[in-house]
């Protein structure tokens, strides 16, 4: 298969995305529009200048820049625009289903009314499903570095029946890991799980495998965001494989935040060799100069996959998703039909 064929195949392949951040998905077009609405911001309005602005020296720098984009989102209408446009970008890549990680605390602490925020994301979700056919679900994450107040507020927004949005399926934990031990959030995850949410913390992105163990044992993680450092612990890899706990792998993100030095050093091969269920994701695509299709092409190169291998990778994400059985079967069938017809003589 030529590179061109590979890209064409991936572009048409029906996909699910499990690890992509709401604000981190704001394209240069969306960022420019928001920056123009709020001209006092330090974020450049010129899409070309954004390329430099989105070049990071380390993970902490990435979070600083990320929060400057969060500062651009000030009204429920900003939230609606962002969400709807993100869904449009996903639909263009044949993403049929996406679990979008949203940090409601960052918006409510900046003064957006909580019910207005929830109404805006739900309005965009319904419009996107009707107009683009892309199904969106939400993961509300705790920005761990903001501490227990943020954890408490995120848990309240995710579990209060008068507030929590219909599309919410899971509960996460993001931001820096260094100096932010996972076990302190056990009570919050316990409450979220009791309220029917699935546990999907980031872990092992910027710290070692012990953080992944903490996510599993303390936060009862059903999937792990990144889990990059799991490769350093063969017993952990065996545990992930045996218990079918998927990793949400985001290769280009790990290079952009300097969590991994080069793509060739990325541990995705070790994960696959250990039998871990690997899913491919884009994390904060425009900030990392990527998109989901590009991440599939990267995975194809690193794992040496042909069309059937890529289709299996796409089906991993469907299997690891929080869709119901019928929803999973529908997308998996679509992937098979597409692949069979592509390969037909
Ligand atoms: N690759 C990533 N790995 C980890 N997280 C990632 C990644 N990409 C995006 N995020 C997001 O970054 C946010 C960080 C927000 C944060 O730390 C913070 C700290 C103090 C105050 C405030 C505030 O709002 O005032 C926010 C997280 O909520 C998460 O959703
Ligand atoms: Zn992430």
Contact yes or no for 169/137 (Cβ under 8 A): yes
Check if the interface score ipTM surpasses 0.85: yes
205 labelled catalytic: yes
The predicted pLDDT at position 46 comes to 85
Counted domains in the chain: 1
The predicted pLDDT at position 120 comes to 98
- CA 53, 59, 60, 64 dihedral sign is positive
- The token duo for 301 is 């190169």
> What are the tens digits of pLDDT across the range 154-164?
999 999 999 99
Edge-to-edge order in the sheet of strand 202-203: 202-203, 224-226, 247-249, 278-280
The pTM score is 0.97
The CATH number of whichever domain residue 215 belongs to comes to 3.20.20.140
> What are the tens digits of pLDDT across the range 80-117?
999 999 999 999 999 999 999 999 999 999 999 999 99
Whether pLDDT at 246 is above 90: yes
Whether pLDDT at 132 is above 90: yes
- The token duo for 152 is 């408490």
What is the distance in A from the centroid of ligand 1 to the CA of 171? 14
The predicted pLDDT at position 50 comes to 87
Confidence of residue 196 (pLDDT cuts 50, 70, 90): very high
Virtual CA dihedral for 329, 331, 337, 339, nearest 10 degrees?
-120
Instruction: Count CB neighbours of 119 within 10 A.
Output: 15
Residue 235 buriedness (CB in 10 A; 0-12 / 13-18 / 19+): exposed
The predicted pLDDT at position 241 comes to 98
Residue nearest to atom 21 of ligand 1 (CA): 146
- Per DSSP, the residues of 22-53 read SGGG--HHHHHHHHHHSTTSSS-SSHHHHHHH
The predicted pLDDT at position 141 comes to 98
**pLDDT, mean over the chain:** 97
CA distance 345 to 327: 30
The predicted pLDDT at position 310 comes to 98
Contact yes or no for 22/44 (Cβ under 8 A): no
Could you list the residue range(s) of the whole structural domain that residue 280 is in? Answer: 3-343
Ligand 1, from 175, 248, 250: best to mutate by most atoms within 8 Å of Cβ? Answer: 175
Ligand 1, from 71, 105, 143: best to mutate by most atoms within 8 Å of Cβ? Answer: 143
């Amino acid at each position: 298969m030529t590179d061109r064929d590979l890209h064409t195949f991936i572009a048409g392949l029906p996909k699910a995305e499990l690890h992509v951040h709401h604000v981190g998905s704001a394209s240069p077009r969306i960022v420019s529009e928001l920056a123009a609405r709020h001209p006092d911001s330090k974020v450049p309005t010129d899409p070309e200048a954004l390329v430099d602005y989105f070049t990071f020296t380390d993970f902490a720098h990435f979070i600083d820049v990320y929060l400057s984009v969060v500062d651009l989102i000030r009204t429920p209408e900003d939230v609606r625009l962002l969400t709807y446009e993100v869904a449009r970008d996903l639909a263009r890549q044949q993403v049929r289903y996406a679990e979008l990680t949203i940090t409601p605390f960052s918006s409510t602490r900046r003064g957006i009314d909580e019910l207005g925020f929830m109404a805006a994301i739900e309005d965009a979700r319904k419009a996107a499903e009707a107009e683009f056919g892309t199904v969106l679900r939400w993961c509300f994450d705790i920005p761990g570095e903001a501490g227990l107040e943020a954890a408490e507020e995120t848990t309240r927004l995710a579990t209060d029946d008068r507030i929590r949005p219909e599309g919410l399926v899971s509960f996460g934990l993001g931001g820096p890991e260094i100096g932010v031990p996972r076990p302190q959030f056990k009570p919050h995850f316990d409450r979220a799980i009791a309220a029917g949410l699935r546990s999907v913390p980031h872990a092992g992105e910027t710290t070692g495998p012990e953080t992944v163990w903490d996510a599993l044992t303390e936060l009862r993680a059903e999937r792990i965001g990144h889990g990059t450092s799991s490769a350093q612990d063969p017993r952990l890899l065996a545990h992930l494989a045996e218990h079918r706990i998927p990793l949400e792998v985001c290769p280009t993100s790990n290079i952009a935040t300097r969590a991994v030095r080069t793509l060739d050093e990325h541990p995705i091969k070790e994960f696959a060799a250990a039998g871990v269920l690997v899913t491919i994701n884009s994390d904060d695509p425009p900030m990392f100069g990527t998109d989901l299709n590009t991440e599939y092409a990267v995975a194809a190169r690193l794992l040496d996959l042909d069309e059937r291998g890529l289709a299996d990778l796409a089906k991993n994400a469907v299997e690891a998703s929080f869709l119901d059985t019928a929803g999973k079967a529908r997308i998996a069938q679509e992937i098979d039909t597409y692949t069979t017809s592509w390969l037909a003589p």
